[in-house]
Amino acid sequence: MEIVTELREAVVRGDMAKARELAEKALKAGHDPAVLLNDALISGMDHVGELFKANEVYVPEVLLSAKSMQQAMQVLKPSLVKSGIKPRGTVVVGTVRGDLHDIGKNLVAMMLEGAGFEVIDLGNDVPPERFVDAAFEHKASLIGMSALLTTTMYTMKETIEILRQRRPATAIRTMIGGAPVTAAFAREIGADGYGPDAATAVDLAKQFTGKA
Amino acid sequence: MDLVQRLEAGPVLGDGAMGTMLQGQGLRSGAAPELLNLENPGLVGRIHAGYIDAGSEYIETNTFGANRLKLSQHGCDARLDEIVLRGVEIARRETGDTSMVAGSVGPTGRLLEPHGDTPHEKVHEAFGEVARLMERAGVDFFLVETMTDLEEARIAIGAIREASRRPVVATSVFAKGARGYRSIMGKSPEETATALIDAGATFVGTNCSGGIEEAIEIMKAMASVSTAAAVAQPNAGIPRMEGPDLVYPETPAAMALGVRPLLALGVRMIGGCCGTTPEHIKALASALGRS
């Protein structure tokens, strides 16, 4: 089997050790790191995202695939930087103020990285102003907010309000997600997008950055 | 009071939400709700009393996030012992001997290895610590709830079993997708029920997974594999924004309509989760034929 395909399959399967080993081997064999990134890692994670959306796999499988992708990415990164490969866009993500649950947010962050985005992860318990400040500072095109608690999700609205107050004509988009969040809630608070799952969040990010 | 004996006499009514009630009464967003056991025990006691007045036959301690792993994120893990002991004490003061105290045990918020970075032993240790405190303080039974990872729930049950001989009730969260109800980790209600009982749970069920309709569907699945599928504590529907307020749309009357189908499935511990209030519990009480 061709090594690019093999690497892609290791990512899909969630075989961390194999993904790392294959990435090293492929680089040594002279493969273009950009091709490995696109055709093995990103393509593999895309496929995992599709399986996840169809409920063919669940969070554990996605996490293992994302970790495998990260393993390979660590190997590729120096070469990617050297050859000047730019990320697809920058996304600021975090769990909202008062909420310490970061499992869902981490999943989204990993899948965004898997899709080639630069991810600024603000962690959990992130106040509304910090989302906005970080988006300006890192020239992000998108803010992603997560909440697990029904008692914290309303703070998403504050972030959107602050963003619009400070830059009424901003091109920065917002997307939200988390167990209690619904599409109707997203509309009510004026978010640009709602991701019912991590894979849909990646689709939204691609749409919003115009690189679907 | 013995939960198993009490259930032989008929269904028991639980309480409603604690977190969303505290939120409505000025809990600072972001603060650990369990700290109120020390800082404002009167408020916690009044919420318990409201549920007992509404007809609750068991109430849950305000200890949902009281485990070392979660409290350390709030920087108050050093106060774990007093938070748990006081939590049980506050509840017991309101129940006296007439209602039961359920020791609420929620998830650690960490992902277990290999998917996350938290070793199993660490989670086992954290739950064991809570269980020993609750055993010492004298809860009537344990309520392991809002679990999304079956493995974490199994660890919790095992740790409690080592610390206590009191009944352990375990409820999990599911969402409906293309393949029906599954936990975020991909487990069905059927396999979850079987595995939780296997791990030592006395009764199993669901909480928080949506409103009363969702609870009925999930309990139908669990009931198909075990007669120990006995617990439903749904939310007051799925919340939405109305102006500046987050509103739970399911009315007490709507929720009470679910009592009959739940009883028909063999469910005999019914209460509420997020967004439910003493009004919901009153409606459930009257649907159960209590005056």
Task: Domain A90-208: give its CATH code.
Answer: 3.40.50.280
Which CATH number do you get for residue B143? 3.20.20.330
ipTM above 0.95, yes or no: no
Q: Residues B134, B144: contact at Cβ < 8 Å?
A: no
Chain B residues at the A interface, defined by Cβ less than 8 Å, are 19-20, 23, 27, 29-31, 70, 73-74, 109, 111, 114-116, 173, 175, 177-179, 182-186, 235, 238-241, 244, 246, 248, 274-275
pLDDT tens for each residue of A82-129: 888 888 899 999 999 888 778 889 989 999 998 999 999 999 889 999
Partner-chain contact B115 A58, CB within 8 Å: no
Number of domains in chain B: 1
Q: How confident is the model at residue A45 (pLDDT cuts 50, 70, 90)?
A: very high
CA B227 – CA B172 distance, rounded (Å):
17
Residue B126 CB neighbour total at 10 angstroms: 24
Provide the mean pLDDT of chain B.
95
> Model's pTM, two decimal places?
0.89
**Chain B contact for A189 (CB, 8 A cutoff):** yes
**B7: closest CA among B255, B228, B287, B289?**
B228
Domain ranges of chain A: 3-82, 90-208
Residue A154 is nearest to which of B30, B70, B241, comparing CB atoms? B241
Decide if domain A3-82 falls under CATH 2.120.10.30.
no
**Residues 25-54 of chain A whose Cβ lies under 8 A from any Cβ of chain B:** 54
Partner-chain contact A185 B235, CB within 8 Å: no
**Chain B contact for A60 (CB, 8 A cutoff):** yes
State the residue range of the domain holding B137. Answer: 3-287
Q: How confident is the model at residue A211 (pLDDT cuts 50, 70, 90)?
A: low
What single-letter DSSP state applies at residue A96?
B
**Chain B contact for A153 (CB, 8 A cutoff):** yes
CA A197 – CA A57 distance, rounded (Å):
12
pLDDT tens for each residue of A140-177: 999 999 998 777 888 999 999 999 999 998 899 999 99
Please tell me the distance in Å from A212's CA to the nearest CA on chain B: 24
- Amino acid A104: pLDDT: 86
